[in-house]
Structure 1
Amino acid sequence: MTTAVLITGTSSGIGRATVERLARRPELTVYATARRAESIADLADTGARVLALDVTDPASMAAAVKTVEAEHGAVGALVNNAGYGEYGPVEEVPLDRIRRQMDTNVIGLAHLVQLVLPGMRRAGRGRIVNISSMGGKVTFPLGAFYHASKFAVEGFTDVLRTEVKPFGIGVSLIEPGVIRTGFGSTITSTLSENTAKNTAGDSGPYAALKKAQDSLVNSGGTMERMAGSPDDVALAVERALTATRPRPRYVVTAHARALIATRRLLGDRGWDALVTRMYR
């Protein structure tokens, strides 16, 4: 008997690497999903099943879960990976974009958990892995709504872990640091779009902050050296799914571990001072 693993957001980066890694395990049947199934059609070559799943569409999520349950009785493991970062000053990001950020990163994740839990409880077992970020522990300017979504995932996962443990369901959180994916380009594009929507544009009160952000993201060098690979995160997911006693948290990359520890040691004022120097 194989375990059915449902993974969201597999068109690129961490999600794709996770499919490729898990599909090599004969005891797992991997379901790769994305908003457009055709964008991940090639993942069928790994042995994965390909499904359409949009985490902002409840009907799409329900259909995907029903497909897996029809073939396996229950979703054996859920990997909530779909997400993105909305960047811009708090004052300037439009409400519709804030709602989309939360809908994608938090509400969709939570609803998928609701959909798979009844089957897992009936089976008396299951694993849920939520991909968060070091951004759920440390914060940087212009990422308020991304950080808010990841802080929410942290709290949600902590509560979920204790609620479902009596039913034989294990829950883990993955906290990656900087990873070599398209996330940097997402930061740049959302920041640019939100700047364009603001009449002040590049000459507004946050212009210097935006310029510093662009330099940090696009300068390469130190940022590139700090970055881990998508497969580093996929390995952590594999461990969370297959360990007899999975950890509550897996922090991925030495840089992420160092930043989280630094934030804890410095306290609020110390961290604020450090970030101010970084963005000066």
Structure 2
Amino acid sequence: MSKIILLTGASSGIGFQIAKDLAKEGHKVYGAARHLEKMEILKRFGVRPIYLDLTNEQTIKQAVSVIIENEGRIDLLLNNAGYATFGPFEDVPLESVREQFEVNLFGLARLTQEVLPYMRAQKSGRIINISSVGGRITTLMGTWYHASKYALEAMSDGLRMESKLFGIEIVLIEPGNIKTPWSEIATNHLLAFSVGSAYEGMAEKVAQSIQSMYAGPFVSEPDFVAKKIVKIINTRRVKPRYLIGRGTKILVFLHTILPTKIFDWLMIKSLT
């Protein structure tokens, strides 16, 4: 059955692939992002590009308003947009921290607030939040990124309980490492923020380890992750959360059973 879908972060990475796959299946997909020119190719598959800046509330309201005016409903909101700011806790400017939280949490939350009344009125709907295995575990030099994803996990858990009465499903998807520009953005931030600091040597080692990791066997292709997410979207009965990608379940299992000091040691050892 064709769904009306609003998908953020559709201009690149797994968002681009998901938008294309869903449109090819016959769903009516509104692909939202700041860079409309990057979504031109998606028009060939039937995706409808729509401008949305998660740091600008007016564009959030306008995007939802356009979809409701055109379609009269939104069946599924896929909160996919997000990015990683890595760097030493002490050296990452709080301005950069706030920018990351605006996209990864507050903008996502505002968009969700805008969509919820329509889903309540239609007594149905599904909201899928793309979190990360980094919302369950914390790695060295990724403190602020993980903080935003941990917050998203807590928000999703609370919203899931509140929305159940109205027939709205909340799903968390927690991917592991994916071959996207994510790692490059994260390491660029890491190196830039640590220049001349007490953590510079450590940051350089962590950046090298991340780059090596993303060239190794425990990284999933975007197409693989996108297909998994599309399958979840098309599933009638969903689970509250899904771990996706190579090594994710092992990592979470180790984090659960190992003493904190041992897990910390493993994280430091693996990245330095």
TM range (shorter): over 0.9
Code of the residue aligned with 1:124 in structure 2: it is K
Give the ranges of 4+ consecutive aligned residues of structure 1 lying more than 6 Å apart after TM superposition: none
Q: Secondary structure at the match of 2:177?
A: coil
Partner of 1:215: 208
**In 2, distance between residues paired with 1:181 and 1:241?**
21
1:232 touches 1:252 (CA, 8 Å); kept in 2? no
1:279 has 2:271 as partner: yes
Code of the residue aligned with 2:245 in structure 1: it is T
Unpaired segments of 5 or more residues in structure 1?
none
Q: Secondary structure at the match of 1:254?
A: coil
1:240 has 2:232 as partner: yes
1:153 has 2:160 as partner: no
Partner of 1:270: 262
Alignment of 1:1-280 (within 5 A): 2-26=2-26, 28-196=27-195, 201=196, 204-219=197-212, 223-280=215-272
**In 2, distance between residues paired with 1:38 and 1:211?**
35
Quick one: structure 1 residues 161 and 240, their matched pair in 2 at CA, closer, same or farther if it must change by over 3 Å? farther
How far apart are residue 193 of structure 1 and its match? 2.6
2:75 touches 2:124 (CA, 8 Å); kept in 1? yes
Unpaired segments of 5 or more residues in structure 2?
none
**In 2, distance between residues paired with 1:232 and 1:173?**
17
Q: Secondary structure at the match of 2:53?
A: coil
**In 1, distance between residues paired with 2:225 and 2:166?**
27
Root-mean-square deviation (Å): 1.4
Identity of aligned residues (%): 37
1:9 touches 1:34 (CA, 8 Å); kept in 2? yes
How many pairs are equivalent?
A: 272
Q: Secondary structure at the match of 1:109?
A: helix
What TM-score does the superposition give when structure 1 sets the normalisation length?
A: 0.93
Q: Secondary structure at the match of 2:217?
A: helix
1:216 touches 1:223 (CA, 8 Å); kept in 2? no
